[in-house]
Structure 1
Amino acid sequence: MARRGSSSPFPSLPVVAWQPGLPVHGSSTWVVVVGEQDGLPAAAKEAGGRLGVDLDRLLEVQRATGFTPSAGATAAYPLLTGEVTEILLVGAGDGSANDLRHAGAAIARFGRGKDELTTVVAEGIDDAALQAFAEGVVLGSFSYTQKTVDAGKPAVGTVTLTDGSADKRQPVIDRGVVIGRTGWLARQLAITPSNEKDPSWLAARATEVAAATGLEVTVWDEKKLAADGFGGILAVGQGSTRPPRLIRLDYVPKGATKKTPYVVLVGKGITYDTGGLSLKPREGMVSMKRDMTGGGSVIATLSALRDLGANVRVTGLVCAAENMPSGTAYRPDDVIRHFGGRTTEVKNTDAEGRLVLADGLAYAVQELKPDVLVDIATLTGAIKVSLGAMLYGGMFATDDALADNLADAGRVSGEELWRMPLPAEYEDLISTPIADSVNSSKGPGSITAALFLKAFAGDLPWAHLDLSSIAESPADRFEYSVGATGAGARLLSTWLASETPTSGIG
């Protein structure tokens, strides 16, 4: 994941730097960020004068040929003389943080293969928009390939930002880079092919992250899982020759006391999902290497909390298994005993994610006793039917303040959530005379899955994030590249690093 020869578990990201005042010597490519309402930044006009370019006239010409300053739109203009050889106009839309994130990503894509870009933004850009812009530069730089020929251009080396003022804004940019890094890391974990990625591989990556960021890490192997009674994780993983793992990461902020709020995150870590004996069709298996997106996002989130100065204690639990058919695989009609003793009758081995999450939730309730409990998963295809693709992730919650705080973080991070209902009337759909519940029903699939998990969350304020609807991008668009999106890492990092993430909860 890191640059060859590096001991860091993190990828090599572009350098995003703030320059007070206009640079005396910039790069050979200057980028001008243009808003729909405000037009050219004042500093850009000054820069154009230095370059001998009438940028107002250039913008007028580009508009005439179809350029509009919508978020992420680009138009390049070559210069025939001087040290600067190219000017790029990039649309900032309405100037909101979300649109500036799109603009940053567009600049990163344009900058592939270049050593440096000098970028002029509007004077007085607020902190939220500047941070989002830096996030976009990082996210738009993402690529993953194992090609040995035509591997594509590397990410831009450095993007220098300025609004022409003497202000010092590097801490805001650094925060954006860290948030962007969580999305990059979660995406890279999710996109790694499953012939390389199995539960022990995921545990090894989490251990590397913990060592680099000052986290405590504990890993349960299959023997310890059996000894401690994690029946759901063991059942799902027993069909594979590559055994399951439970990964625990712990973050404690500096100066923490007994009164410091405590949050537990539980992530689905299915490193490949064939459906087990309830075998998926071939088309349904494609992209199932990213069925551990929830677990990867938990790892990525924990990796950022110290850099972001989060003031809550956080434990991340990643319930990792590979769901395979074999002579040792679990079967429909099996009864599983989860951590803590609750039982589940299996009706569909392809409803495996909730079985591993159930163990993690039960462990959190009985052993960790947090103030807030959140699980995150690519859990159901049904949420895509409800919400479509790439706009909203599904959220179920037992606490209104928790739901509001997560929704706010979703809007800020660009990973938006839509709250779904948890009607008790549907609980009969997962009832059975054989066990405490069944793991699958013919009812509304995302809701009954959430109701199944709710029983394991006890009386804690709890939220379930079903992000299958935003886990895969069909194309390179804005801050996403085609394939796995690493959904949830930016959302959770933004929430936990806010000033009062647990405000009003309980």
Structure 2
Amino acid sequence: MTMRIQMDAGGVGEIKADTVVIPITRRGETPKTLPQGLSALDRRMGGRLSDAIESGDFKAGAGDRLPIYGPKGGDIVRVVFLGLGDGEGIDDARLREFGGRVGREANREGRGRVALVVPPGAGLAPEKAVPLIAEGALLGAYTFDRYKSGARKNKRAPVKRLRIVTVRKVKGLAGLRAETKRAVQIAECQLEARDLSNEPPNSIYPESLAREARKMARQVGLKCSVMNVTEMEKRGMGAILAVGQGSERPPRMVVLEHGATAARKRKGTLALIGKGITFDSGGLSLKSAGGMLEMKHDMSGAAAVFGAMKAIALLDLPIHVVGLLAAAENMPSHMAYRPSDIIESASGQTIEIVNTDAEGRLVMADALDHAVKTFKPDAMIDIATLTGAAMMAFGPHATAGLGNDDGVLTELQAAGDAVGETVWPMPLLDAHTKAMRSKVADWKNSGGPSGGVSTAGAFLQGFVGDTPWVHLDIAGSGMSNIGTPLHIGGGTGVGVRMLTEWVRARSE
């Protein structure tokens, strides 16, 4: 269950909570005095808060933590100081990461009532800080342990509610609550994307992903249609069908649609395309055991589009948006597609199969072509865990971005910067396109070991026509086992907040 966020202003002295978290900033070496507005809370704690600050032992560096336990029999079990570092120049990233630590703190002891007090001070203006901290708290508190049982399951139930209280009254409290609710809704959609990515492949496969999409669409009012094998055959989608033919789990093409009204279409049509390889064994070009281990995350692009479309619907953004999930399972069998096969895509272009482990670009080719022909979007973004080259270049720290429209790429970079997700531009040259040309077909599905991010992008460009388009390669950023304040490991849900922000900006 996702932790709920409640936002209030004033009344800190009467706050009721088992655990109270307080951010502490510093100027110089250590904080000298307790933040303003906390004297009543300090009295309830028997003066322990001011004693802790005045001792000089708590340095308030970013990441520092000091738990202070209350008097026996008191109604506050503990207060936790969390350091924010220097009070000057606190940016969005620091506030989000601080929120992530608050979320972890809320889950640390599993106590039912947790409150965060936001004192006045540099960098902590509630209008800016509260939505970012709330967003970070949800992302940081996320866990995925639903398959653990008995003694192995976390005995501390996750905190169901976090109350954020500002020391001072806030002008425009209703507006701040609305902005915080918006941030929370989008973060919750990112958590759903994480769940989808983290689910094992015997739970999430093309058919079950389509069912989840239908269920979500009903909840938020999206239109949803799902193409089965027969329907894809009628549309000539030979690329995605080839990828899926080795598996007993047949492929699916899911189409989600928001704002299909004349008024909203006048603002334009945007398309989001997500790669949904629910498990990638590599096919007959079989991966190693280690290389296969994390391949349940190969549908993280589809998960990002799933989460973004839900967020777009919840926010009711005034623009027409379509989301496509190209779902297939890439497995070896006597029915699997082979190296040297030549397949025909929905666009009519033929593709020589050089490597069956370069399957993601094939399912995306048919999805991109369908989006262009059916919806004629004004701009189109695809997001995919596409290449090991992106993973090697950026690790989990950035997403590769390239396309045929510098303006759209700049918009995505701005959207990424706004939400803390870095998009790094990559070149798309004629040489990359030439590397993907086949001697026996229109294209080949692999251009060799060098320039992998750009050659994969050049292949996809062949299926978008003149539509303004950007490709996001999240092979590194979509999954990570490097823990951060906002992510414990596994699927990251990257792209949900960025795509939502991009659509929001385009809708204005």
Both structures adopt the same fold (TM-score exceeding 0.5): yes
Deviation at 1:129, TM superposition (A): 3.2
Contact 1:133 1:176 in 2 (8 A): no
Q: Is 1:205 aligned to residue 199 of structure 2?
A: no
Deviation at 1:254, TM superposition (A): 7.8
Contact 1:96 1:129 in 2 (8 A): no
- Give, in whole Å, the separation in 2 of the partners of 1:328 and 1:60: 73
Q: Is 1:223 aligned to residue 214 of structure 2?
A: no
Contact 2:480 2:492 in 1 (8 A): yes
Deviation at 1:397, TM superposition (A): 2.5
Which amino acid letter does the alignment assign opposite residue 304 of structure 2? S
Q: Is 1:241 aligned to residue 248 of structure 2?
A: yes
Deviation at 1:274, TM superposition (A): 0.2
Partner of 1:437: 443
Query: Any gaps of 5 or more consecutive residues in structure 1?
Result: 1-11
1:431 is paired with a residue whose SS is coil
- Give, in whole Å, the separation in 2 of the partners of 1:419 and 1:35: 35
Partner of 1:64: 57
- Deviation sequence 1:359-401 (CA, Å, 0-9, x none): 01111111210000100011111012222x2211111122222
Q: Is 1:457 aligned to residue 464 of structure 2?
A: yes
Contact 1:393 1:465 in 2 (8 A): yes
Partner of 1:15: 4
CA 468–73 in structure 1, closer or farther in 2 if over 3 Å, else same: farther
Q: Is 1:31 aligned to residue 21 of structure 2?
A: yes
- Deviation sequence 1:170-192 (CA, Å, 0-9, x none): 11211111121121000000000
Contact 2:318 2:507 in 1 (8 A): no
Partner of 2:118: 121
CA 424–479 in structure 1, closer or farther in 2 if over 3 Å, else same: same
Which amino acid letter does the alignment assign opposite residue 143 of structure 1? T
Contact 1:98 1:129 in 2 (8 A): no
Which amino acid letter does the alignment assign opposite residue 110 of structure 1? E
- Deviation sequence 1:16-68 (CA, Å, 0-9, x none): 1111212423202111012345965423455324544353442354x636x53
Which stretch of the first structure deviates more once superposed, 97-106 or 372-381?
A: 97-106
Partner of 1:417: 423
- Give, in whole Å, the separation in 2 of the partners of 1:31 and 1:126: 16
- Give, in whole Å, the separation in 1 of the partners of 2:431 and 2:126: 47
- Deviation sequence 1:119-143 (CA, Å, 0-9, x none): 1114362544322211111112211
Which of 93, 98, 105 is 1:98 aligned to?
A: 93
Which of 68, 75, 81 is 2:66 aligned to?
A: 75
How do 1:338-353 residues align onto structure 2 when only pairs under 5 Å count? 338-353=345-360
- Give, in whole Å, the separation in 1 of the partners of 2:503 and 2:50: 43
CA 378–148 in structure 1, closer or farther in 2 if over 3 Å, else same: same
Which stretch of the first structure deviates more once superposed, 260-269 or 150-159?
A: 150-159
- Give, in whole Å, the separation in 2 of the partners of 1:247 and 1:306: 16
How do 1:131-280 residues align onto structure 2 when only pairs under 5 Å count? 131-145=131-145, 146-149=147-150, 150-152=152-154, 153-167=156-170, 168=173, 169-252=176-259, 256-280=263-287
CA 121–343 in structure 1, closer or farther in 2 if over 3 Å, else same: same
Which amino acid letter does the alignment assign opposite residue 456 of structure 1? F
- Give, in whole Å, the separation in 1 of the partners of 2:163 and 2:22: 12
Partner of 1:4: none
Partner of 2:47: 53
1:390 is paired with a residue whose SS is coil
Contact 2:369 2:464 in 1 (8 A): yes
Which of 81, 91, 95 is 1:89 aligned to?
A: 81
Which amino acid letter does the alignment assign opposite residue 26 of structure 1? K
- Give, in whole Å, the separation in 2 of the partners of 1:322 and 1:348: 16
Which stretch of the first structure deviates more once superposed, 323-332 or 25-34?
A: 25-34
- Give, in whole Å, the separation in 1 of the partners of 2:399 and 2:36: 39
Partner of 1:8: none
Give percent identity, aligned residues only: 34
- Give, in whole Å, the separation in 2 of the partners of 1:420 and 1:203: 32
CA 37–234 in structure 1, closer or farther in 2 if over 3 Å, else same: farther
CA 502–303 in structure 1, closer or farther in 2 if over 3 Å, else same: closer
- Give, in whole Å, the separation in 2 of the partners of 1:45 and 1:452: 64
TM-score, with structure 2 as normaliser: 0.91
CA 332–128 in structure 1, closer or farther in 2 if over 3 Å, else same: farther
1:90 is paired with a residue whose SS is strand
Partner of 2:319: 312
Partner of 1:109: 104
- Give, in whole Å, the separation in 2 of the partners of 1:257 and 1:384: 37
Aligned residues: 486
